[in-house]
Structure 1
Amino acid sequence: MNVITTFNAKRRERQIKYERKLLKELSIQNLKKSVQEHFGSERIEGGIWIQQGVEEGCYDVAIEAYLLGGQFSRFSHFGESIEEIKKRCHNEIRHLTDTLYNFWLYWKFGDEGFIQESIYYSCEQFVDKWWMEGFIKGEQRRKLRLH
């Protein structure tokens, strides 16, 4: 007898395989450097353990944005511009930005409004940078037919 597999299971399997290939090109040092560039001036009270926890949260969001950019890079193959592609995944990018921002607000214990606004802009730039990194890597993989 043949084994019956569903379309969704097969699609999920292919997606995981593609994400693994894309993540092989991601460097932990680049993640650390990026977190320091975007959030290095932000100080969190509570010691080194809390600081490491916040950095790991930033890594998680960066990886998700990277994978999202890589996933949406397939639309560039069909001739869409980066602006059009960003419009396609605007909700996902906004969700990642809001998630990171709320994460920072939780650990900063709600400072003044000006600082909150600067953190939001930092989160926006951070997510956008990693989305773009993933997009470029995904585009390169498609051009080299490594997808």
Structure 2
Amino acid sequence: MEIITTLADKRREKRWNFERKLLQEISLKEIEKQFHETFASLIPTEHAKRPFLIDPSLDIGIDSYLLGANYSRFLQYGESEEQAKSRAEDELTDLSFDMFNLLTCWVHQGERYGDALGIASDVYVDTLWQRGFQAGMKRYRLKLH
């Protein structure tokens, strides 16, 4: 008796393998370093090293990285990076908003810091999206997908 697999199962397995290989190219230390570089001036030092902030921030960073890598496939169809990024705008906005909400309670108080936190959240998500886009683009060009 044979096991019947569906096309959706094959696609999911291929996507998981692609993401697994991509995650081997970036370390958690690099994502954590990006977090500290982006939010160093906004988050008090005593909170910046705590796992209750680092762990969800790393999750959002990984999601941004993988999102950029997944959208890099549109380069094969003749789109530019800006066009691919405009396709992913809703997901990027959601990730940035999640990052903003996560860190809102832990930054210095004041309206000025809220604006700076929003900009820093956008920069964090965008930077990791671009790194993922570049890594995915490299894999697609080398036919490693």
TM-score (norm 1): 0.90
* Residue 79 (structure 1) aligned with residue 78 (structure 2): yes
Residues in 1 aligned to 2:57 and 2:102: alpha-carbon distance in whole angstroms: 9
The residue aligned with 2:33 is 33
Corresponding residue number in structure 2 for 1:127: 125
Match of 1:144? Answer: 142
Per-residue deviation, 1:91: 0.5
Q: Distance in 2 between matches of 1:24 and 1:87?
A: 27
Extract unaligned runs of 5+ from structure 1: none
Instruction: Provide, for residues 65-101 of structure 1, a one-character-per-residue CA deviation record: whole Å limited to 9, x for no partner.
Output: 0000000000012110111101111110111000111
Structure 2, unpaired ranges of 5+: none
SS at 1:41 equivalent: coil
* Distance in 2 of aligned mates of 1:67 and 1:41: 27
Report the AA paired with residue 91 of structure 1.
Answer: D
1:50 offset after TM fit, Å? 7.2
Contact 1:70/1:134 (CA < 8 Å) preserved in 2? yes
Whether the 8 Å contact between 1:44 and 1:51 is mirrored in structure 2 is no
User: Counterparts in 2 of 1:28-67, with a 5 A limit?
Assistant: 28-44=28-44, 47=46, 51-67=50-66
Cα gap change, 1:49 to 1:134, in 2 (>3 Å): closer
Distance 2:48 2:81 in 1: 38
Q: Which residue of 1 aligns with 2:11?
A: 11
- Change in Cα spacing, 1:100 to 1:34, as seen in structure 2 (3 Å) is same
Partners of 1:44 and 1:50 within 8 A in 2: no
In structure 1, C-alpha distance between the alignment counterparts of 2:69 and 2:11, rounded to whole Å: 16
* 1:2 alignment partner, SS class: coil
Q: CA deviation at 1:48?
A: 5.6
Q: Percent identity?
A: 33
* CA deviation string 1:1-59 (max 9, x = no partner): 321222222211111111000000012231122111101122348x5697232122211
